[in-house]
Chain A
Amino acid sequence: MAPVVQTINLQKTYMLGKVPVNALRGVNLEVESGDFMAIVGPSGSGKSTLLNLIGALDRPTEGKVIIDGVDVSTLNDDQLAELRRRIGFVFQFFNLIPRLTASENVELPLAIAGINKRQRKEKTVELLKAVGLSERANHNPTELSGGEQQRVAIARALANDPRFLLLDEPTGNIDSKTADMLISLLKKLNEERGVTIIMITHDPNIAKQAKHIVRILDGKIIEETNNMNGGS
């Protein structure tokens, strides 16, 4: 089976003034559909950079990202935007839009994708239920706890039935108990709905629960582990 995401010799160089920073130095990665992959590595090793490239938020300096068989580098801005509608992002700092309610935040990607109002409402209700936040639908992000906000963010990321979910330290800003609940939710989504998940984490306990662990150091993959008890 063809991978959902594939990277070939992926490189990213940032310019800090005149000093080039090689954030990624040739990453080759394949993610199969239905996978639950954890990306680990020290701070500054290039995890976020990799995730942003996989999510078509940024363009690589060298190499290729292939999503569903399409070379992302061949796409223009509009096509990239359309591609992003099939990718679910969850960020460390939730990144909800503060002036919108939980359900409006979840509805937003559906509106952007041009789904009609009625279907949007149905889908939003369903998603909030899936993340266990039906009661909080009309609350603003400021009225929600970190864990709740992150669940809204997950619901929003799932709105357009993405090919995969990208999570950049989703538990970085919530306590460990809430983090456990969140991971259970992700595992459930992965197992029951077959959602492909790629997640950056610093927490080894959380990484252990994934099916695969990819270790990154200095912009390179140094280790890929199959987690035998992942998903159990």
Chain B
Amino acid sequence: MDIVDIFSYAWGGIKLRKLRAALTTLGIIIGIAAIVALLSLGEGFRIVITSQFERGFALDVLTVTAGRGLLASIIAGSGSEEYLTLNDTYIIDEIAGVKQATATLSKSIGVSLGTKTYTVTVVGINFTEYSTIYSTSFVLQNSSVPLNPSNDSIILGYRLYDPWKNGTILVRVGDYINLTWTTGSIAKPIVKRYTFHVVGVLKEIGGISIFGPSDIQAYIPITTAQEIFETDQVSQIQVQLVNSEQTTIDSVTDSIKNIYGDKVTVISPSAMLNTFSSILSTVQLLLAGLAGISLLVAGIGIMNIMIVSVIERTREIGILKSLGMKNKTVMTIFLCEAALIGLVGAAIGIVFGLGLSNFVTTFIFPLIGGGTNQTNAQGNRVVSNITPVLTPTVCLGAFFFGIATSVLFALYPAWRASKLKPVEALRYE
């Protein structure tokens, strides 16, 4: 019996019990839909995250922080004993492959915008160096960055100027705003107030920024920052390289490590992105694994139904054998029935999964969070920008798993069918 005949015979078997086949298929549909939805959402999420990070990043800029470890470096100014000062920028400047280095010092402090005071990350920078390193993102709306700013100059990120992006402007260029810095102990706080002159507002950058300019930060001269925060430390040193090639990144990283040993951590944007990607992949895999459990349940359903079906069709199997059908052909027929169920289930499941993920992104995600405060706004932007992405790998994988699960769980029932003794099968009532 050739494979076309086997398939058409198997198809006849499925058609015989339409409702049952539909219910069995439903199991596969749900499993595959869950996997596809989760993976395509995950992929969409990864793309948004990556692109958002990329917008804030300059690929040719390394970030040097005191102490070790990624986490310690993200939390700026974490309680590390080692620290960097402005002097270190001059040391790093001398390294071959470095175009220029600039230091930043950032703290979260109160900033009065309009009638309210918000907690904002204020970054002390060298206006000239910073704006050349981040020449594409650190750009003012209507003017250029002042190269010799007065000590009370402040530049605002776009979202501090127009937080809801609806034209509700909190503060304008030329305004004076108050910064409140609280030191001392919790029991005995010392509140200091400074007045700053808004000299510019950044163009919208978009994205999430860990290093580099961001829409939700404010920028003041680093010397002023060190005075206010009463420190000679800097949080980070941004090192612009002559190019963004991996060899340059590696050699500069090595040189910095040679000078400072383990006292500093050097982070390259590409390494950062890779880390994020791999974390996201792991999470995605985990989610897919969870969805896989539903596929497992579907598989057990198929096995169950198949066993019943083999028992019901014992006589039919006896007839086929009396007509000279070989054991392996009997087995193939049942496996083909399962494969067809898997194929149809996977196809519908993929469509449903995509539909589900699109439904979630269009109707559910916009409901998450109101987006009134600054940090929320960033998260919301990420969530609302997600478009589900179905990669060919996921698509093929879904087909593969749909069919493989069905066939795998049909193996035992099919084997039982093939082993039936013709005489006994024919006697079966």
Contact = CB atoms under 8 A, between A and B. Distances in A.
Nearest to B322: A89
B189 to A, nearest CB: 84
Given A57-B422, A57-B426, A77 B1 contact: no
A85 B423 contact: no
A193 interface: no
B180 interface: no
Contact of A108 (B13, B315, B323): B323
A219 interface: no
B174 interface: no
A160 B327 contact: no
Give the residue among B13, B16, B320, B322 with the most A Cβ atoms within 10 A: B322
Nearest to A49: B423
Contact of B324 (A95, A96, A97, A113): A113
A52 B324 contact: no
Interface residues of A, number: 27
Interface in B107-128: none
Contacts, number: 64
B325 A57 contact: no
B421 A58 contact: yes
A99 B16 contact: yes
Interface string A112-134: 11100000000000000000000
Interface residues of B, number: 26
A58 B421 CA distance: 8
Contact of B325 (A52, A58, A100, A112): A112
B171 interface: no
A111 B326 contact: no
B397 to A, nearest CB: 35
Given A78-B327, A112-B323, A112-B325, A99 B12 contact: yes
B351 interface: no
A147 interface: no
Contact of A100 (B5, B12, B315): B12
A95 B12 contact: no
A111 B1 contact: yes
A112 B5 CA distance: 9
A181 interface: no
A85 B324 CA distance: 5
A91 B321 CA distance: 14
A77 B326 contact: yes
A55 B422 CA distance: 11
Interface of B is mostly: helix
A170 interface: no
Interface string A81-102: 1111110010100011101100
Most buried by B among A81, A82, A84: A81
B360 interface: no
B2 interface: yes
Contact of B5 (A77, A89, A111): A111
Contact of B319 (A55, A95, A113): A95
A112 B12 contact: no
A81 B321 contact: yes
Interface in B270-313: none
B51 interface: no
B321 A84 contact: yes
A208 to B, nearest CB: 28
Most buried by A among B319, B321, B325, B423: B319
Given A57-B422, A58-B421, A91-B426, A112 B324 contact: yes
A170 to B, nearest CB: 15
Residue among B13, B328, B423 with most chain A CB within 10 A: B423
Contact of B422 (A58, A82, A100): A58
B315 A81 contact: no
B129 interface: no
A169 to B, nearest CB: 13
Nearest to A77: B327
B342 to A, nearest CB: 22
B315 A95 contact: yes
Contacts of A97: 316, 319
A109 interface: yes
Contacts of A58: 421-423
A111 B324 CA distance: 10
Nearest to B2: A114
Query: Which of A77, A78, A86, A156 is most buried by chain B, counting CB atoms within 10 A of its CB?
Result: A77
Contacts of A82: 324, 326
16 contacts: A57-B322, A58-B423, A81-B324, A81-B327, A82-B326, A84-B322, A84-B324, A95-B318, A95-B322, A99-B12, A108-B320, A108-B323, A111-B9, A112-B325, A114-B2, A156-B323
Given A77-B327, A81-B324, A112-B320, 9 more contacts: A57-B322, A57-B426, A78-B327, A81-B325, A81-B326, A109-B324, A112-B329, A114-B1, A160-B324
Closest 10 CB pairs of A and B: A85-B324, A84-B324, A109-B323, A81-B326, A58-B423, A57-B422, A111-B5, A57-B423, A112-B325, A89-B322
Interface of B: 1-2, 5, 9, 12-13, 15-16, 315-316, 318-329, 421-423, 426
